[in-house]
Structure 1
Amino acid sequence: MSRLPGGPRVVLTVTTNPVTGTGTSDSERKQRWAELFDQLDLNKDGRIDVRELRTGLAERGLTRSSVDQIVRAGDTNQDGVLDFEEFCQYLRTHERRLKLMFSTLDRNNDGEIDGAEIQQSLHSIGVDISLKEADRILRSMDKDGSMTIDWHEWRDHFQFNPLHNMEDVARYWKHSIILDTGEQLRVPEDLSEQSKSSVWRQLISGALAGAVSRTGTAPLDRLKVFLQVHGSFPGTRNVLGSFQAMVKEGGLGSLWRGNGVNILKMAPETAIKFTVYEQIKCVLRGNDETGHLNLHERFLAGSLAGAVAQTAIYPLEVLKTRLTLRKTGQFSGMADCAKQMLQRESVKVFYKGYVPNLLGIVPYAGIDLAVYETLKNSWISRNTESANPGVMVLVGCGAVSSTCGQLASYPLSLVRTRMQAQASVKGAPQLSMTDLFQNILTQEGVPGLYRGLSPNLLKVIPAVSISYVVYEYMRKVMGVGVPR
C-alpha cells in the first residue's frame, strides 16, 4: 500500500522487464516511487527535506554529503526540499545511470551479474580484486541467494546512492582513504589496486588534506612539543596557562610556529613512502602480480617504507622541533634556523633523535595497522550484507588504531623530541637515547615518558575529521578515480 502525495492510498503493483529494468508504463514506475516517497516523507506534508532524507536513509549507511548531493541534484526549483515530481525526476535520471552501469557489468547480456563479471569490469578500469572479494561484493546485493545480481537487486541496492559511473562504484566497493593524524601517514592497502594516475591524484588529495588538518591542530601540536621538552610552557602550570603564555610571548601567530616546515615535509614524505611501499610489495609478491599481501606482509612493507621516508626527510623533523620551540626573534625563518644550527652544531645535528624515531615507526605502524585491520574485519564479519564499511566506520577504525599506535610509541617520540631540542652549548650535556630514558625515569617516573600525551590525543579526532572533509572535497575537485 502507498499513496500519491496529496491523494488516496493506492495498491502498489509494478511489472518490470528484468532485462530493461523499466516498468510497463511510467505511471506504474511512479507508483513504486510513490511508496518510497511515502516512506521518506516522515511528516506527511508532501515534501522531503534533508533531515527527513538523512533519517530515512540512515540504515543504508549513506553519508551526510551523499544525502546532500541527492537534494542538490533533485531540487530543481532551489527551495531546499524535494516535492514528489522532483523526487520522481531524480529517480528517473538516476535509474537511467544505474541501468547503464548494470549493462556495463552484464558482459554476456543475460540480465544477471556474477562474481566473475564484477572482477572483469573492475579490472578494466584499473582495480584488481580477487574472485573471493568479488563474490563478497555480490553477496552484499544478492537478496534471493542465487549468487547473481539481477536488475531489481542492483537498482534497489543503489537506489539512493549518488553514483555517476563505474569509477564511483569501484570507490564504493573498494573504499580507500588517507587519514592523517599528524603523526605517521598510513599507506592505504587498496591504493596500488587503482590506476596509477588515480593513485597519485589521491595521494595529492591526501597530502593537501593532511596539510589543512595539521594547520588546524598545530596549536595542540606545539603545546605537545613544549610539554615533551619542558614539562609545560616556561612559567605555567596547566594547558590553558601554556596557551596564554604562548600568545603573550609571541602573539596569536606563535601558536603555529613550526607548522610551515611540518607541511613542507609532507609531499616528499608521502611520495617516497608510497613509491617504496609499492616496490617492497612487488618484491614480496614475486611472480604473483595479482596476489594480495597478508597482514604481517603489509606491516613489513609499511614499516620499511616509513623508515626510508623518515630517513630522507628527517632533517626537516629536527628543523620543525627547533622552530616550534624558538623564542620570538630567535630566527628570521626556516633558512636562518638551518644555517645557525649548521654553524653551531655541525651537520650531525640534523639527525639527532634519529634512532628513537626509527624505532618508534615499528610499534606505531604495526599496532596501527593491526588494530585498524582487526576493527574493520570485525565490522565486515558482523555485516556480511554490506561490502563497504562506510565512511564513519573507517574514520572510527582509523582514530582508534592511531590512538593505540601513539600510546605504544609515545615514549620513543618524547625521547626523540628531547634529543632534537638539545642545542650544542659549550659545557651542556648531550644525552644519548638510553641516558635520556634513565634520566626521565629517575627524575619523573613512568608518567614522565607520557608528558604531552593529552594534547596529542585531543588532536586525533579533529585531525581525522578535518582531514576527511578536505580529502573528500579535493578528491572531487581532482577527479580521483577517473582514468585519464
Structure 2
Amino acid sequence: MSTPGTLRRPLPLQHLAGGVAGGVTSTLLLHPLDLIKIRFAVDGGAMRARPQYTSVASALTTIVGSEGVRGLYRGVTPNLCGAGASWGLYFMFYSSLKSWMQSGDPSRDLGAARHMLVASEAGVLTLALTNPISVVRTRLCLQTTLDATLPESKRYSGMLDALRKTYRQEGTRGLYRGFVPGIWGVSHGALQFMAYEELKSLYNRRRGRPVQHRLSTLEYLQFAALSKLFAACITYPYQVVRARLQDHRASYSGSADVIRRILSHEGPRGLYRGLAPYLLHVTPNVCCVFMVYELVTGGGGGGR
C-alpha cells in the first residue's frame, strides 16, 4: 500500500528501536523454549535420525545431557538477529501504515478489517526482509551431536557459515525456503493485531475514553497475551510446515507435499506438533516484548 505521500512520511524509528529491544530481550530469556518448539515441529518428519522427545521436560533434560547447557542456545545468534529485526521492522511498518490510514489522527478507530489489512501489509514486508534469517535460525536450532555424520555442506559453524553454505548449495531459493507458509503466517500477525487493537478499543469505549487512551502496562500485557494466544491457536500449523521446509535434512517438493505427508503419516495432530512448547514460549515472549517496547517508546503498540 504505497503512495508518494506514504513514502514522504518519516518512518517512526522509535517503534523500530522499541521492537528491536523487545525482540532481543525476549529471545535472550526464552530461546531454549523456541529451540524445543522447532525440534518438536520437525519430529515425525522425513528424517528420524535425530533425538526423540516425549515432552518439554524430556527435551530439556535430553538436550542438556547430550549437548550441555550450551545446546539449549543453538541458533541463538540468528534468533537474536531475526527476532530483533522482525519485531523492529514489524512495529515500524505497522505504526507507519496505521498512521497513514488514520490520516495522522490517532483518535480515529480503523475497525477490525483495516487493522487486519495494515497488519498483513506490515507482515509481508517484514517477512520478505527476514526470511533468510529464519532459515538459518531453524537449521542451527536443529543441529545436534548426531550431525557429525552429515556432509560438510550441511554442517554449520555459525550464522554466517550457514548463510554462506545455504546460498552456495541452494541459491537464493534456499534462503527463502518456507516463504510461502510464511505468507500464510502473515494471517497470524493480522489476527493478533486485529484482536489486540479491538480489545484495546472496546476496553476504552466501555469506560467512556478515547480509543487512543494510554492503558497501564499490565493492561497492555493482558491484551497482548490474549491476542497472541487467539492467533496462535488458529494459525499454528503453518509453523510446522515452514519448519519442515527449512529443515536441511529433509526434502519436500513444497508446502502441499509437507501437508500431505504429515496427514498421511501422522494425522491432523501432526500439524500441531510443538504447540505446547510454542504456547509456553510465546506467552511470556510477547509480554516481555511489549513491556520493553512500552519502556522504550512510552506508548501503545501492537503485536506479532
Higher relative contact order (CA 8 A, sep 6+): 2
TM-score, scaled to structure 1: 0.51
Structure-2 separation of matches of 1:275 and 1:202 = 5
Q: Secondary structure at the match of 2:208?
A: coil
Q: Secondary structure at the match of 2:144?
A: coil
Which is worse superposed, 222-231 or 294-303?
294-303
Deviations 1:425-447 (A, max 9, x none): xxx74331111111111211111
TM-score, scaled to structure 2: 0.79
More helix by share: 2
Deviations 1:246-299 (A, max 9, x none): 1122210111111211111344445544554466457656xx554833332232
Residue 393 of structure 1 aligns to which amino acid in structure 2? E
Higher CA-based Rg: 1
> Do 2:115 and 2:190's aligned partners in 1 also have CA atoms closer than 8 Å?
no
Matched residue, 2:262: 440
Q: 1:315 aligns with which of 132, 139, 150?
A: 132
Matched residue, 2:151: none
Q: 1:379 aligns with which of 180, 184, 203?
A: 203
Residue 227 of structure 2 aligns to which amino acid in structure 1? S
Task: Write the mapping of 1:88-127 to structure 2, written as runs, cut at 5 A.
Answer: none
**For the structure 1 residues 279 and 389, does the alpha-carbon distance in structure 2 shift closer, same or farther, using more than 3 Å as the test?**
closer
Task: Write the mapping of 1:295-306 to structure 2, written as runs, cut at 5 A.
Answer: 295-306=112-123
Q: 1:402 aligns with which of 218, 221, 228?
A: 228
Deviation, structure 1 residue 323 = 0.7
Residue 269 of structure 2 aligns to which amino acid in structure 1? P
> Do 1:315 and 1:351's aligned partners in 2 also have CA atoms closer than 8 Å?
yes
Structure-2 separation of matches of 1:303 and 1:314 = 16
Task: Write the mapping of 1:278-427 to structure 2, written as runs, cut at 5 A.
Answer: 280-281=97-98, 284=101, 288-290=103-105, 292=108, 293-328=110-145, 330-362=155-187, 364-384=188-208, 387-423=213-249
Question: Could you list the runs of 5+ residues in structure 2 that have no partner in the other structure?
Answer: 1-5, 149-154, 300-304
**For the structure 1 residues 304 and 470, does the alpha-carbon distance in structure 2 shift closer, same or farther, using more than 3 Å as the test?**
closer
> Do 2:85 and 2:130's aligned partners in 1 also have CA atoms closer than 8 Å?
yes
Matched residue, 1:122: none
Task: Write the mapping of 1:185-334 to structure 2, written as runs, cut at 5 A.
Answer: 199-231=12-44, 234-270=51-87, 272-274=89-91, 276-277=93-94, 280-281=97-98, 284=101, 288-290=103-105, 292=108, 293-328=110-145, 330-334=155-159
Deviation, structure 1 residue 196 = 6.7
> Do 1:215 and 1:256's aligned partners in 2 also have CA atoms closer than 8 Å?
no
> % of aligned pairs identical?
28
Indicate the RMSD between aligned Cα atoms, in angstroms.
3.0
**For the structure 1 residues 307 and 385, does the alpha-carbon distance in structure 2 shift closer, same or farther, using more than 3 Å as the test?**
closer
Residue 184 of structure 2 aligns to which amino acid in structure 1? L
Matched residue, 1:454: 276
- Alignment: residue pair count: 276
Q: 1:463 aligns with which of 279, 285, 290?
A: 285
**For the structure 1 residues 220 and 275, does the alpha-carbon distance in structure 2 shift closer, same or farther, using more than 3 Å as the test?**
closer
> Do 1:303 and 1:361's aligned partners in 2 also have CA atoms closer than 8 Å?
yes
Structure-2 separation of matches of 1:468 and 1:358 = 24
Question: Could you list the runs of 5+ residues in structure 1 that have no partner in the other structure?
Answer: 1-191
Residue 260 of structure 1 aligns to which amino acid in structure 2? T
Deviation, structure 1 residue 309 = 1.4
Deviations 1:179-223 (A, max 9, x none): xxxxxxxxxxxxx9xx979x4234313321221112211111000
Q: Secondary structure at the match of 2:203?
A: helix
Q: Secondary structure at the match of 1:244?
A: helix
Structure-1 separation of matches of 2:142 and 2:258 = 19
Deviation, structure 1 residue 238 = 2.6
Structure-2 separation of matches of 1:451 and 1:235 = 13
